[in-house]
């Protein structure tokens, strides 16, 4: 057992308490011992796989004009598919493998794939990464994963690899697939808690595996609000490019200073309500008055405890699963005297408006299920920006630049319009009627870019 884990268990066993607490503690220690054993087993498996991989040459493919084989772990509601669709690469993408255990998210992923014109037929059925035969799974060129965050989140218990539900070990288990098939590029996303000192054993293994497999590894915390959408959402992104597939160095996408007026363009200003809440707890931020909150564009987290209720104009707080699945939604728009709409949450995560109805249809019109998946997932604007630069490193150039030139409110309107009608130019060249083209994104028409 590793020194870090042994010390952790020893410290846990020394804590005092009454009879009931002692029993609970003993049970907790046993569970932690189980998780420790699983962690050590995975650690040894990965060590052996990396050692074995060093003696073999991975498949080298010229990706400039090739089909792009995609593997998505913890696939969620398909942010990767939407990003690839908006980058103009949907006709080149071939999903070969994906994992997801939540039945609602599986339905949402399939609905998004259909809307994006990306076929899932012939892919391995979605399943837990713990049950997957990684060696026998199909090889891929692009590997994208948004591993479960509760184990590392500061808003949860933050148990890391000790998480009793096993969520802290999902990423390590999934890395076995990377060891066997060595995709050209990998993009991993998680909360910034992964960087905390207590999670260093987990992070070190990730780093050692990619370095041992000869990947150029990059890590950075990115915020959704820096890439065209006014949502304060900080997430850790890890990008690994296989050295022998690189045609040029990887660079993180450049930040943009988004106008404070941009938020208005993401809200349905024609829809107002009559709900009036006490905003006094939201004025703790310097320079923010209660009048500002009522008069300017802002979205407040009213579902949280008073400790986290701090208002800010021009930006939304992080749109979390807990708030988006609440009924009513735990976010409030003071100027419109109503709660945030699910359609607005969709936009603030970078999804085009056309996807709303297919997503609701896939969940029997459950806004709560759609909201939960949105809060769990990646921001499409950030993922598409990272994906574009990562793909360029292996010789694949995106046709479009979604959200990459958005700075002002006017840019937001133009971008939303471009995404809505992004099929028109391509289909017009192919002789498709313009009226038919407008529905192509939803219908998954193969003429789309």
Q: Catalytic: which of 74, 97, 149, 427?
A: 149
Give 114's Cβ-side CA count (13 Å radius): 14
User: Tell me, what's the pLDDT at 32?
Assistant: 77
pLDDT at 439 over 80: no
Instruction: Determine the average pLDDT of the residues in 242-254.
Output: 96
What percentage of the chain reaches a pLDDT higher than 70? 85
Q: How many angstroms separate the CA atoms of 132 and 147, rounded? A: 16
Give 37's Cβ-side CA count (13 Å radius): 6
Of 25-29, 95-99, 423-427, give the range with the top mean pLDDT. 95-99
Work out whether strand 185-190 and strand 68-73 pair parallel, antiparallel, or are unpaired: unpaired
Which of 52-56, 147-151, 426-430 is predicted with the least confidence, judged by mean pLDDT? 426-430
pLDDT at 338 over 70: yes
- Say which residue, 380 or 310, is predicted with more confidence: 380
Tokens 């002789």 found at: 431
Active site residue 149: yes
User: Tell me, what's the pLDDT at 366?
Assistant: 96
Q: Give the C-alpha distances (Å, rounded to integers) separating 291 from 225, 229, 272, 283, 316.
A: 24, 24, 18, 10, 17
Work out whether strand 300-301 and strand 142-146 pair parallel, antiparallel, or are unpaired: unpaired
- Return the H-helix or E-strand segment holding 384: helix 380-393
Tokens of 288: 């923010």
Instruction: Determine the average pLDDT of the residues in 26-54.
Output: 84
Which of 81-95, 181-195, 230-244, 283-297 is predicted with the least confidence, judged by mean pLDDT? 283-297
pLDDT at 446 over 80: no
Report the predicted TM-score, pTM, of the whole model to 2 decimal places.
0.87
User: Tell me, what's the pLDDT at 22?
Assistant: 57
Tokens 């769990």 found at: 376
H helices within 137-217, ranges in order? Answer: 170-181, 200-212
User: Tell me, what's the pLDDT at 24?
Assistant: 52
Instruction: Determine the average pLDDT of the residues in 382-408.
Output: 92
| Reported confidence tier of residue 444, pLDDT bands at 50, 70, 90 | very low
Which of 116-130, 132-146, 238-252, 316-330 is predicted with the least confidence, judged by mean pLDDT? 116-130
Burial class of residue 420, CB neighbours in 10 A (0-12, 13-18, 19+): middle
Q: Are 5 and 201 in contact (CB under 8 A)?
A: yes
DSSP per position, 285-336: STT--HHHHHHS-B-EE-SS-GGG----BSSB----HHHHTSSS-SEEEGGG
DSSP per position, 9-34: HHHHHH----HHHHHHHHHHHHHHHH
Question: What's the pLDDT tens digit per position in 355-379?
Answer: 999 999 999 999 999 999 999 999 9
Which of 31-35, 182-186, 299-303, 386-390 is predicted with the least confidence, judged by mean pLDDT? 31-35
Write b or e for each residue in 13-23: b if 16 or more Cβ atoms lie within 10 A of its Cβ, otherwise e: eeeeeeeeeee
- How many Cβ atoms sit within 10 Å of the Cβ of residue 368? 15
Q: How many angstroms separate the CA atoms of 66 and 270, rounded? A: 46
What percentage of the chain reaches a pLDDT higher than 90? 62
- Say which residue, 84 or 163, is predicted with more confidence: 84
Which 3 state secondary structure label does DSSP give 340?
A: coil
Work out whether strand 185-190 and strand 93-98 pair parallel, antiparallel, or are unpaired: unpaired
DSSP-derived letter for residue 194 is: G
Q: Are 77 and 372 in contact (CB under 8 A)?
A: no
Count helices and strands (H / E) in the chain: 16, 9
pLDDT at 125 over 80: no
| Reported confidence tier of residue 283, pLDDT bands at 50, 70, 90 | confident
Tokens of 443: 């219908």
User: Tell me, what's the pLDDT at 111?
Assistant: 96
**Residues paired with residue 190 on neighbouring β-strands, in sequence order:** 236
Q: Are 279 and 311 in contact (CB under 8 A)?
A: yes
First to last CA, the chain: 51
Tokens of 263: 């938020």
């Amino acid at each position: 057992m590793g020194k870090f884990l042994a010390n952790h268990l020893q410290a846990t066993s020394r804590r005092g308490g009454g009879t009931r607490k002692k029993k609970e503690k003993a049970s907790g220690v046993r569970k932690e011992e189980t998780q420790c054993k699983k962690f050590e087993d995975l650690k040894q498996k990965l060590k052996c796989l990396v050692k074995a991989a060093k003696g073999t040459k991975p498949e080298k493919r010229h990706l400039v004009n090739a089909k792009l084989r995609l593997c998505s772990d913890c696939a969620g509601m398909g942010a990767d598919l939407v990003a690839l669709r908006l980058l103009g690469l949907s006709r080149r993408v071939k999903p070969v493998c994906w994992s997801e255990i939540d039945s609602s998210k599986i339905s949402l992923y399939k609905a998004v794939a259909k809307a994006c014109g990306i076929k899932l037929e012939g892919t391995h059925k979605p399943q837990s990464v713990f049950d997957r035969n990684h060696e026998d799974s199909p090889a891929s060129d692009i590997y994208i994963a948004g591993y479960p965050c509760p184990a590392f989140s500061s808003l949860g218990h933050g148990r890391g690899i000790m998480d009793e539900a096993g969520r802290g070990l999902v990423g390590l288990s999934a890395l076995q697939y990377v060891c066997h098939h060595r995709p050209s590029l990998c993009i991993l996303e998680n909360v910034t808690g992964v960087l905390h000192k207590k999670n260093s054993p987990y992070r070190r293994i990730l780093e050692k595996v990619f370095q041992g497999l000869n990947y150029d590894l990059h890590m950075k915390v990115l915020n959704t609000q820096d890439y065209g959408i006014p949502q304060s959402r900080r997430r850790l992104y890890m990008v690994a490019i296989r050295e022998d597939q690189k045609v040029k160095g990887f660079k993180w996408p450049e930040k943009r200073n988004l106008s404070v007026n941009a938020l208005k363009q993401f809200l349905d200003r024609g829809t107002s309500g009559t709900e009036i809440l006490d905003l006094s707890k939201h004025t703790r931020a310097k320079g923010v008055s209660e009048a500002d909150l009522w008069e300017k564009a802002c979205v407040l987290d009213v579902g949280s405890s008073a400790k986290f209720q701090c208002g800010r104009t021009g930006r939304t707080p992080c749109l979390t699963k807990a708030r988006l699945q609440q009924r009513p939604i735990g976010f409030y728009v003071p100027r419109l005297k109503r709660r945030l709409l699910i359609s607005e949450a969709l936009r603030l995560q970078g999804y085009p408006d056309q996807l709303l109805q297919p997503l609701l249809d896939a969940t029997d019109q459950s806004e709560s299920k759609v909201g939960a998946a949105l809060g769990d997932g990646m921001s499409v604007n950030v993922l598409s920006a990272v994906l574009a630069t990562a793909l360029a490193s292996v010789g694949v150039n995106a046709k479009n630049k979604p959200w990459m030139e958005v700075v002002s409110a006017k840019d937001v309107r133009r971008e939303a319009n471009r995404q809505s009608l992004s099929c028109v130019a391509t289909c017009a060249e192919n002789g498709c009627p313009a009226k038919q083209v407008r529905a192509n994104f939803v219908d998954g028409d193969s003429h789309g870019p």
